A and B are shown apart, each in its own frame.
Chain A
């Protein structure tokens, strides 16, 4: 099985494997004393399904749990790791660390770890597109969690996007957890879809652990936004398989619930399906895993070899130097 002969479905599987391997490496780094991270283990299908439905002219806003969105968009795992380690070759020169990684060159803009921050800025990004900034026909996708839907800014963003008819795709990764609080303590069961619908925009709820279902729904929503210029809403039902922020022993997590979702691991799901279809055989899967593992090892070496930022640059980038641009 060569890369040329790969189907889209196989490519999606490979990216999901890459995200998983990347985050497992970050966990290893953390155990060795590096800063902790919010991993998206268990939510890879959400990132890969949606980001794969976007084009390069589209913009993405994300949050603290961003690795999947970045890697699915083509971010270099080596530069991501360098950022997490605070090194100069990271996407933000080490200033961000893991929690606010933006990569303008990839169209991943304005990442905020203030929950709801991404929701507050997304309408403005979409407004600029609507008003002719950037490539014509671009739309904005904003990723956020079920917790963010509890912030007042969630409703403010939805209302404004509907009133101003903004080309904006809201993507809620509903993973049942809001740091150390379960979603059942914070809202009625189907609240997110109902709240969104109440603002008058089309809402689709999808199994967020089924990458093909997510991808199909995202393609439809993106096509609709390009056609009618109005916001759409995707709720992806998924689960956070690891803790909130490494390290986290998940002592507060119901073991049965966790086991149920572990049995629905999105990577296993798509791999099993492709194996059953005959699109992939065991050797092919092993080959994919090896290729991903080699990329992650190379990325780790790159990141660890990257220099620390020069302390004399501490106050660079706080303000724009007036007159510096022509």
Chain B
């Protein structure tokens, strides 16, 4: 294992994949300024600064991907994706299908988002569910340092267009990354971060940490929470979530993104359509509000799901069961 930050893990993944496959290129506003060593190792043809123009960055990536290259584009902050949305949603997501399967679009669109930086809603907007809603696109949003590396490498090798989201707050976290030559994490596989039989907490990205904190607090109260990190939002690993639900019968879905039509809604739908018989309590969603991200620190914090809120939700769901268990313990 090697200890490194998310930022370093992302950089390693890019370097390794560029080394492995000369069709991989890195394109974006300032990528060559920021990643001088990649320019030195792979040349200016494969590491390109661009004009400030997201629509043509993404459009060029789509055209190049259909024509034999494997572009990785860095679109900086997630809200800037809306300029690139035509190329990603209408072209990359649809033209394989509309051409009757003639084309492939092996490209990765990276961007950062998430609260904690007081930069406001034009930099901080968790819009990953918008892309999950668009056919033809895959969506990845890791939480651990090892996953950032392994999932980015897998995304670059995937023959489909992949949106790769980085929560800014995780960029400087440190973690262990396996030293194996090729650390790959397959797309579409959730990870069970903590095993428990009483309740299932499902999340991704920064709020996985919130769920783990909550699980720790619940443990002290004798409640065993299972924590699932989705890692990939699409394709969604339904089997892992359902397996856990059949065991616990209780679901709390936690996202920083707003709730309406979001991943937490999707998880709730999964629970009631596919595990209704196993449910022992109504599903709870803890999400950000239907409001743009404010810059002010206190408002930004007020918008976030907290471990305390998760604990409270679980206590509410388990209310009676907890009382029974405590009664049993005292007799």
Contacts and interface: CB of A to CB of B under 8 A. Distances in A.
| A interface, over-half SS | loop
A97 B118 CA distance: 7
B295 interface: yes
A107 interface: no
B299 A150 contact: no
Q: How large is the interface on A (under 10, 10 to 19, 20 to 34, 35 or more residues)?
A: 35 or more
A318 interface: yes
B148 to A, nearest CB: 22
Contacts of A165: none
A314 interface: yes
Interface string A165-204: 0000000000000111100011100000000000000000
Q: Which residue, of B290, B302, B303, has the highest number of chain A Cβ atoms within 10 A?
A: B302
Contacts of A98: 295
A94 B299 contact: yes
Interface residues of B, number: 35
A252 B298 contact: no
B75 to A, nearest CB: 12
A49 interface: no
Contacts of A112: 122
A100 B79 CA distance: 14
Contact of A151 (B30, B53, B289): B53
Contacts of A152: 53, 55-56
B291 A315 contact: yes
B120 interface: yes
| B interface, over-half SS | loop
A24 B8 CA distance: 33
Contact of B52 (A96, A117, A150, A309): A150
A180 B30 contact: yes
B52 A115 contact: yes
B33 A181 contact: yes
Contacts of A95: 120, 294-296, 299
Contact of B122 (A35, A113, A181): A113
A97 B122 CA distance: 11
Contacts of B52: 115, 147-148, 150-151, 178-179, 181, 186
Contacts of B290: 315, 318
A94 B30 contact: no
24 contacts: A35-B118, A35-B295, A94-B294, A94-B295, A94-B296, A94-B298, A94-B299, A99-B123, A99-B295, A100-B122, A113-B123, A114-B79, A114-B80, A148-B52, A150-B53, A151-B83, A179-B29, A181-B33, A181-B49, A181-B52, A314-B291, A314-B303, A315-B289, A315-B290
